[in-house]
Amino acid sequence: MNANEFSHLDAQSNPAMVDVAHKEVSLREAIAESRIVLPKEVVLLFKNQDILVKKGSVFNTAIIAGVMAVKKTSELIPLCHGLLIDNCQINIKLENEEAVITCKVTSFGKTGVEMEALTGVSVAALTIYDMCKSFSHAMVIKNTRLLSKTGGKSDFHG
Amino acid sequence: MNANEFSHLDAQSNPAMVDVAHKEVSLREAIAESRIVLPKEVVLLFKNQDILVKKGSVFNTAIIAGVMAVKKTSELIPLCHGLLIDNCQINIKLENEEAVITCKVTSFGKTGVEMEALTGVSVAALTIYDMCKSFSHAMVIKNTRLLSKTGGKSDFHG
Amino acid sequence: MNANEFSHLDAQSNPAMVDVAHKEVSLREAIAESRIVLPKEVVLLFKNQDILVKKGSVFNTAIIAGVMAVKKTSELIPLCHGLLIDNCQINIKLENEEAVITCKVTSFGKTGVEMEALTGVSVAALTIYDMCKSFSHAMVIKNTRLLSKTGGKSDFHG
Amino acid sequence: MNANEFSHLDAQSNPAMVDVAHKEVSLREAIAESRIVLPKEVVLLFKNQDILVKKGSVFNTAIIAGVMAVKKTSELIPLCHGLLIDNCQINIKLENEEAVITCKVTSFGKTGVEMEALTGVSVAALTIYDMCKSFSHAMVIKNTRLLSKTGGKSDFHG
Amino acid sequence: MNANEFSHLDAQSNPAMVDVAHKEVSLREAIAESRIVLPKEVVLLFKNQDILVKKGSVFNTAIIAGVMAVKKTSELIPLCHGLLIDNCQINIKLENEEAVITCKVTSFGKTGVEMEALTGVSVAALTIYDMCKSFSHAMVIKNTRLLSKTGGKSDFHG
Amino acid sequence: MNANEFSHLDAQSNPAMVDVAHKEVSLREAIAESRIVLPKEVVLLFKNQDILVKKGSVFNTAIIAGVMAVKKTSELIPLCHGLLIDNCQINIKLENEEAVITCKVTSFGKTGVEMEALTGVSVAALTIYDMCKSFSHAMVIKNTRLLSKTGGKSDFHG
């Protein structure tokens, strides 16, 4: 693959999978992050001790949605290879008015897992949106990005 | 529903669907937007006349991924109702170094379609990421948000 | 439909959907129950005040899995009609050494929702099994059954 | 993993996959069983020689539903790893008024296949319920359980 | 819609769903057919009285695969609307060396069901191929086509 | 496996997966082809230079649908093993009034990938049908067949 070319377009510019038949298997890891700005009422509720269980339920639901989406990544992203996930850990914490979601994915295979990690944080963020939207629709999901990627031809640290 | 309560948590704070059995059917519409900052090489390539076909293939693929994700929304977001989509239009345009994605969803039903529109732009953005990542992994998906929502109990304009 | 005939077999005994094209739309509800006998260590842990959060996470995860399975019922049961779920409520409580799961499903349509309710409790029970199996594999899921069904040609109360 | 801890909860009691990145690959097998008590008319019909073809169609449909569900297990059980199934055999036989379903699953991988086998018998049982419910809704799916599990760290025989 | 235009391309030639928000609901029906030329050994086996059960299992499996694919059509065909299927009947018969598959789909909705019927016969044919390929891979699936379509703006009879 | 027996039926003629637990892993490749006869207006439009973009969008959409279906093959064909696709290339060209679709699939595994290649061309053909049906429903998908298969116990060249 030439770094100046779209890996997912063939010579006629048609969409195409990357051929990994002859790539080595290695342990791949990727970590992605996304942030969602929560409605003020929700931030207040979550900071209140009494709401621990509610925050728990909202964040638990988002974590599960994220993990299930990680496993569905190749169904969602058209040219993404299917792979076997060895590990997926999603964490969500409150930073001021934002819920910060990180997703670490590990797989022993021929392709990177950055799309899986990015899909995991995206769907977890959408699930938080869904669960908090009775308070306000003015939430923004911002800065969905890759934090790191290791185990492939070249590492990435964002 | 009390606006101070989580619509997706029951009295014991367990996750629960919103009961829409007795809601009226109406024509619902929602428009969402997401932006992805592209690698510089990709921006240059896309501005070049010769690359029209490549941009076409990248954007076409993202549009299709987005439309298919819209139809899968209730599989991804745990407490989201399934519904029948009447229309889904995804547009992608270049604004400086950003690809700006909008998704308009229409449905004739009992629940809003904001989660569908937000899922559509999110998966379209992830697909652009996937297709451009051979150039750089330093892309950021930013400001995924709802632009408008009409047809339900109360309209929203972001 | 003759009550002495298999509604899902045609005249040649081949599998076939039931034709509901000319059935009236009505509000359907079904409630199903399943019970899973938990490992003793888990029962002790769950009765302990400290474990509230752990029980919460286990039961939350099972509830979400059950709700998502309810929405997938027509993908799992070959001759089941797809339908739009208006409401789905899953509850789990401890009764001695058993976790008792109930699932109520409501839909406004042409077919009953008993398969949806039964699928919901079944997958919630399997999820509890999955989350507790590090303690023991000797769990039994017992008495998955329909408690009631209303809104169709004839009601059922188990 | 400590046998006294939930393998699917992390240190904060949030749901999490088990990390299998460094586990050895081995040949795993699991066998599960489920029983469904059939309506009396169905038992009589199935014992009658003439009905062989109908029983065949009902049981065939349930077997296929079960096999397809085995392949979908990681979509249904939130924290279950995806894996490649090497073999799946579902058998159904009549024992008095019960249909007894067994499902054997084999995979060469890092995780056990007990959830796959349990999912297979559960969905096969639900499918039999669906196909026989025109006779009676008073069926009960009972004693869904693991018969054996081999090839992992420790074997299980129920 | 102008009959000279692609209904699934927008003004910029990007793929797009057809907007059916303001279309009338009506009872739609479509019938499609596909033919698969079977290996000679299979034809001989199927004509033999002893093989009735085997043919039954092969055809049953194909029918179920076809019905399940009909319900998945909008997941497979990118711009296809999701809809609720009221009826789906698949029949398979032997004509000389060919298995002739027909699929009739009925739905009460805003869009035609011809893609559903065509998908049903296609996946049933692929399933027969899969089940007979141990005899020969030289099978051909031929003449997959629409036989009729009624209930929409204009009927079609092939 | 005896070449005179159905590999997907067990001793009681019930449907069953083929046991591949002890098969060797090897690099498998399969190529399939399908042809769809297009409406005359579409052929004229596609041959016209101005329509390049429209043909691009139609063929791009069909390619993506085909690739996504290849990854879903084991969800569609009941007894098909899941596997990890290493490569999938779909090409579509115009030959007189026909669109000729080829799909090459590569996988490093225990089972052949002919069903994946055949599913890919079938769904690509159905997608072209869907996108051109506003011109005419009189299209025929003909001669879906395997061109070659290598890497398993015996090669096939059609």
The first and second tokens of residue D65, run together, are 């539903």
| DSSP secondary structure code for residue F5 in this structure | S
pLDDT of A1: 43
pLDDT digit string, tens, across residues B58-111: 999 999 999 999 999 999 999 999 999 999 999 999 999 999 999 999 999 999
Each as own residue / partner, the long-range contacts of residues F39-46 (CB below 8 Å, 24 or more positions apart, any chain) are F39/F132, F39/F135, F39/F136, F39/F138, F39/F139, F40/F97, F40/F136, F41/E4, F41/F135, F41/F136, F42/F132, F42/F135, F43/F94, F43/F96, F43/F97, F46/F94
Token pair recorded at residue D43: 């038992």
Chain-centre distance for alpha carbon D133? 21
Q: Is F132 exposed, middle or buried (CB count within 10 Å of its CB: 0-12, 13-18, 19+)?
A: buried
- Asked if residue E1 has pLDDT above 50, the reply is no
Q: Residue F43, Cβ neighbours under 10 Å: how many? A: 18
The predicted pLDDT at position F1 comes to: 43
Which of the two residues, D52 and C14, has the higher pLDDT score?
C14
| Tens of pLDDT, residues F103-126 | 999 999 999 999 999 999 999 999
Can you tell me the distance from the alpha carbon of E57 to that of F8, in angstroms, rounded to the nearest whole number? 9
Mean pLDDT of chain E: 92
Distance CA(F107)–CA(A74), nearest Å, equals: 16
Q: What angle do CA F10, F16, F21 make, to 5 degrees?
A: 100
Cβ-based neighbours of B27, under 8 Å, separated by 6 or more? B106, B107, B108, B151, E21
Pairing, β F85-95 against β F98-109? antiparallel
- 8 Å CB contact between A74 and A81: yes
Residue B103: strand, helix, or coil? strand
pLDDT single digits (tens) D63-109: 999 999 999 999 999 999 999 999 999 999 999 999 999 999 999 99
CB-nearest to B122 from A65, A122, A140 is A122
CA neighbor of F85 nearest in space, from F101, F103, F102 = F103
Task: Judge contact between A97 and A40, C-beta under 8 A.
Answer: yes
Average pLDDT over chain D, rounded to an integer: 92
Mark residue F151 as left, alpha or beta (left: phi above 0; alpha: psi -120 to 50; beta: remaining): left
Q: How far is D26 from chain F (nearest CA, A)?
A: 11
Q: E85-118, pLDDT tens digit by residue?
A: 999 999 999 999 999 999 999 999 999 999 999 9
Q: What is the pLDDT of residue B6?
A: 86
CB spacing of F109 vs D67 below 8 angstroms: no
Rg (CA), chain E: 18
Q: Is D61 on the interface with E (CB under 8 A)?
A: yes
Structural domains in chain F plus CATH codes: 26-149 (3.30.70.640)
E 81-110 → F contacts, CB under 8 A: none
Buried b (16+ CB within 10 A) or exposed e, B1-15: eeeeebbbbeeebbb
Length of chain B: 158
DSSP states of E85-154: EEEEEEEEEEETTEEEEEEEEEEEESS--HHHHHHHHHHHHHHHHHHHTTT-S--EEEEEEEEEEESSSS
Residue D89 tokens, joined: 């055999």
- Flag whether residue A133 sits within 8 Å of chain B, measured between CB atoms: yes
Please report, in angstroms and rounded to a whole number, the separation of the first and last CA atoms in chain F.
22
Amino acid identity of F24? Answer: E
pLDDT at D1: 43
Q: How many CB pairs under 8 A join A and B?
A: 170
- Over pLDDT 90: what percentage of chain C? 78
Phi, psi of A157 (to 5 degrees): -130, 115
Give the CA distances from residue F145 to residues A39, E139, F34, F37, in Å, rounded to whole numbers and listed in that order.
56, 7, 7, 16
**Who has greater pLDDT, F54 or B157?**
B157
The ipTM estimated for the assembled molecules is: 0.95
Give the pLDDT of residue B27.
Answer: 97
The answer to whether the CB atoms of D84 and F81 lie below 8 A apart is: yes
CA dihedral A106, A111, A117, A119 (to 10 degrees): -140
Q: Mean per-residue pLDDT for D117-144?
A: 96
Over residues B25-60, the pLDDT tens digits come to 999 999 999 999 999 988 988 876 555 567 778 999
- Asked whether E158 and E145 are in contact (CB, 8 A), the reply is yes
Q: Position B24: which residue type?
A: E
Q: Confidence class of residue B1 from pLDDT cuts 50, 70 and 90?
A: very low
What per-residue confidence (pLDDT) applies to E6? 86
pLDDT of residue A134: 92
The pLDDT of residue C91 is above 70: yes
* pLDDT at residue D3, as a whole number: 46
- pLDDT exceeds cutoff 60 at E38: yes
pLDDT in tens, E67-84: 999 999 999 999 999 999
Instruction: Work out the average pLDDT over C39-60.
Output: 78
User: CA distances (Å), B139 to each of A102, A114, A120, A121, B43, in order?
Assistant: 16, 12, 17, 15, 12
Chain E residues whose CB is inside 8 A of the F4 CB are: 41, 135
Nearest C-alpha neighbor of E124 from the set E38, E58, E37? E58
> Among the listed ranges B144-153, E44-53, F128-137, which one has the minimum average pLDDT value?
E44-53
Closest Cβ opposite residue E108 in set C21, C74, C82? C21
Q: Could you tell me if D65 and E67 are in contact, meaning their C-beta atoms sit under 8 angstroms apart?
A: no
Report CB contact under 8 Å: E67, C10: no
Average pLDDT over residues C4-14: 83
User: Whose CA is closest to E74, among E107, E31, E35?
Assistant: E107
Closest to F17 measured CA to CA, from B129, A70, D71 = D71
* Distance separating alpha carbons of residues B124 and B130, to the nearest angstrom: 10
User: Could you write out the DSSP letters of every residue in F84-138?
Assistant: -EEEEEEEEEEETTEEEEEEEEEEEESS--HHHHHHHHHHHHHHHHHHHTTT-S-
R_g of chain B computed on alpha carbons: 18
The amino acid at residue E76 is L
Task: Report the first-to-last Cα separation within chain D, whole angstroms.
Answer: 22
Q: How many CB atoms lie within 10 A of CB C114?
A: 25
With 0-12 / 13-18 / 19 or more C-beta atoms within 10 angstroms meaning exposed / middle / buried, residue B39 is middle
Residue C48 predicted with pLDDT over 80: no
Structure token digits, residue C130: 């999955």
DSSP string over D35-92:
EEEPPHHHHHHHHSGGGHHHHHHHHHHHHHHHHHHHHTHHHHSTTPPP--EEEEEEEE
Output the average pLDDT for chain C: 92
- pLDDT number for residue F11: 83
pLDDT value at D48 more than 90: no
Q: Do C130 and D79 touch (CB under 8 A)?
A: yes
Q: Which residues contact F50 (CB under 8 A, 6 or more apart)?
A: none
Picking from E83, E131, E154 by the largest number of F CB atoms within 10 A of its own CB, the best residue to mutate is E131
Question: Residue B70: what residue type?
Answer: V
Can you name the residues that pair with C115 across neighbouring β-strands? none
Quote the pTM value.
0.96
Q: Which residue of E has its CA nearest to D58?
A: E60
Can you tell me which residue has the tokens 């399933």?
E127
Residue B3 — very low, low, confident or very high, per pLDDT cuts 50/70/90?
very low
Q: What is the pLDDT of residue D53?
A: 64
Residue A119 near chain B (CB below 8 Å): yes
Q: Which residue, among F118, F135, F140, F147, would best test binding to E if mutated, counting the most E CBs under 10 Å from its CB?
A: F118
- Determine how β-strand B156-157 pairs with β-strand C156-157: unpaired
- At F98, the pLDDT band (50, 70, 90 cuts) reads very high
- Return phi, psi of residue A156, to 5°: -135, 135
E-chain CB neighbours of C14 within 8 Å are 59-60, 63, 90-91
Give the residue numbers of F annotated as catalytic, written as ranges: 130
DSSP label at A5? S
Nearest residue to A158 via CA among A100, A119, A114, A96: A114
Residue whose pair of structure tokens reads 């038992």 in the numeric block? D43
Q: Does position D62 have pLDDT exceeding 70, yes or no?
A: yes
With an 8 Å Cβ cutoff, are F59 and A20 in contact?
no
